[in-house]
Amino acid sequence: MVVMAAMPTLLDRRLVVVTGKGGVGKSTVAAALALAGARQGKRVLVAEVNAKERVSALLERRAVGSQIGRLEDLIDAVDVEPRAAMREYALMILKFKAIYNAVFENRLVRTFLRAVPSLAHLVMLGKILFHVAEQLPDGRPRYDLVVLDAPASGHGSMFLRLPQVLATSLPPGPLAREARQMHQTLVDPRTTTVALVTLPESMPVNETIELNRELRDVAGIRPAALFLNGYLQARFSASEHERLATAPEPLRPLAQTVLTREARAGRSERWARRLAVDTELSPNIIPFLFTRRFGRAQVEQVSRIVESA
């Protein structure tokens, strides 16, 4: 009898890429995954890509910048930006700082590199994947889990597809070899997975369905989790809706407010069903959190939900 090994859960991967349309809660889910991983005793690195830092603010910690910094016990963070990543990448390859300064700090070379955005993106991704494979002197991984808060939707798809594109288009050499190794890491389902984040609204849902298709069919990366953020649960039955619709005048404004909320809840349910069918992923529901301020306490709530994905 052959026993098939179970696929790892989301937090069992070495790299979890969180992506989706801008404004759907990607950074919230990334921060929540970091908290969930640390709660399991994992050493976690959260990487944001050339963006205003969101994760440190959500966890109510100071921003760390382009160098890896400690957010709290077991959680480090870094904002990967092109020039700093290029410097680290080049020094890893060239070994000598004098050679790096002579080549990459040259004004003409910097202008050329800025004109080739795909190279900058490859280097930023290379830095992140370096930390996925990075080891301590005793041979243990430096990080058990790397959470990448990826660029939004279309940019995120191209960011993850770039190694595949360059590996097949560049002439044989170190850069093509590096791109091929990156692609192999990204498509290995036991090392890497993608968590999609969306809202129960038309445009984010449609973009998520398309992003899932591109990652699965074009990039060869099959997302393992889908988070439906800002979900509203219906509170009343159909008969109660009818009674609310005919509420007497003093209660009518309040009844209309309740019915408006219930209509939005109905849309949440319909979008969840469509996502399940069109992505073949069961949405993990993150309820709409009614709060005046969204901070660490709310991220802690979300982390309990993402931990079971």
Domains, the chain, in order of start with CATH, read 11-87+118-233+283-306 (3.40.50.300)
Predicted pLDDT of residue 219: 85
> Which run of H or E residues covers position 52?
none
Residue 1: the pLDDT is 42
154 SS3 class = helix
Average pLDDT along the chain, 309 residues, taken 10 residues at a time: 54 94 94 96 93 90 92 94 69 51 52 56 85 92 95 77 80 78 91 95 95 90 94 84 78 79 89 96 93 91 89
Specify the pLDDT at position 235: 84
Extended beta strands in 68-144, E state:
69-72, 75-80
Q: Rounded to an integer, what distance in angstroms lies between the CA atom of residue 199 and that of residue 286?
A: 9
Token pair recorded at residue 41? 């005793």
**132 residue type, one letter:** V
Q: In the prediction, which pLDDT does 106 show?
A: 53
Cβ count within 10 A of residue 111: 9
